[in-house]
Chains A and B, each alone.
Chain A
Amino acid sequence: GQNIDQPTEMTATEGAIVQINCTYQTSGFNGLFWYQQHAGEAPTFLSYNVLDGLEEKGRFSSFLSRSKGYSYLLLKELQMKDSASYLCAVRDHNTDKLIFGTGTRLQVFP
């Protein structure tokens, strides 16, 4: 079966660092994606991991451990505009479809 778990909600303070965890159990794996989605808008791509390790891109970093079925998204120097839902998604090995978690709603407070 396919199962992707991430926390439903998180809160953080402007300027702080927050880590959003994602665990997955899927029958096939061909990469893990993180997307950001503001309310009423389209998901936008943040990061992609297919090998173990850390990928850094500006204020955002993403980590993958395939043996543990675990990833996290790290957001540094939080800004108010980072308030959004963060979606973890695994790409299916056979069909390229993305299997999404329910998303983590992050609220950044001043």
Chain B
Amino acid sequence: GAGVSQSPRYKVAKRGQDVALRCDPISGHVSLFWYQQALGQGPEFLTYFQNEAQLDKSGLPSDRFFAERPEGSVSTLKIQRTQQEDSAVYLCASSLVGGQSYEQYFGPGTRLTVT
């Protein structure tokens, strides 16, 4: 079956613009995660959904970042008034059920460049 897909793959935004990043998880995966990966670093956790419920948003760096998953499948990460420090790759991952040995499957990421 299809893996996790993300769109767009690349996004260039001028400072101050709003952006929306989309994630399509693997069908049937209950858990969905967003991570931010700066160049040369490991991914850093942003937020976590179980179905449509956002259970952990402790990693969102500011109130400019907002994520939703209204029907428990597709998720959108929105960044308002983008800043240069927001430039990074945004990775989405999904897994079957939380709290088990199931690995997280990652999408290819969206590379955001803020100019």
Q: Which residues of A contact B (CB under 8 A)?
A: 4, 30-31, 33, 35, 41-45, 48, 50, 87, 89, 95-103
- A98 and B91 in contact, given A31-B101, A87-B42 (Cβ under 8 angstroms): no
Which of B55, B99, B105, B107 touches A45 (beta carbons < 8 Å)? B105
A38 to B25, CA, bound (A): 21
**Nearest-CB residue, chain A, relative to B105:** A45
Per-residue CB proximity of B90-115 to A under 8 Å, as 1/0? 01010100110101111111000000
Residues of B in contact with A, size category: 20 to 34
Taking a contact as CB atoms under 8 Å apart, the answer to whether B31 and A102 are in contact is: no
The reply to whether A103 and B42 contact each other, CB–CB distance below 8 Å, is yes
* Shortest distance from the beta carbon of B33 to any chain A beta carbon, whole Å: 6
Q: Are B45 and A98 in contact (CB under 8 A)?
A: yes
Shortest B98–chain A CB gap in Å is 4
A96 touches B101 (CB 8 A): no
Q: Which residues of B contact A (CB under 8 A)?
A: 4, 31, 33, 35, 40-45, 48, 55-56, 58-59, 91, 93, 95, 98-99, 101, 103-109
What residue in chain B is nearest A31 (Cβ atoms)?
B101
B42/A97 in contact, CB under 8 A = no
User: Closest Cβ of chain A: how far from B106's Cβ, in Å?
Assistant: 4
Q: How far is the CB of B78 from chain A (nearest CB, A)?
A: 20
Contact residue among B4, B40, B56, B103 (Cβ-Cβ distance under 8 Å from A97): B56
Bound-state Cα–Cα, A55 to B45, Å: 26
- For the complex of A and B, the 5 pairs showing the least CB-CB separation, nearest first, are A100-B42, A42-B106, A45-B103, A96-B98, A97-B45
Shortest C-beta distance, A104 to chain B (Å), equals 10
Select A42's contact among B91, B95, B98, B99, beta carbons within 8 Å.
B91
Judge whether B99 and A96 touch: CB under 8 Å: yes
Are A33 and B103 in contact (CB-based, < 8 A)?
yes
Asked whether B103 lies within 8 Å of A96 as measured between CB atoms, the reply is no
Once the chains bind, are B108 and A42 in contact (CB under 8 Å)? yes
Contact of A41 among B58, B101, B104, B108 (CB under 8 A): B108
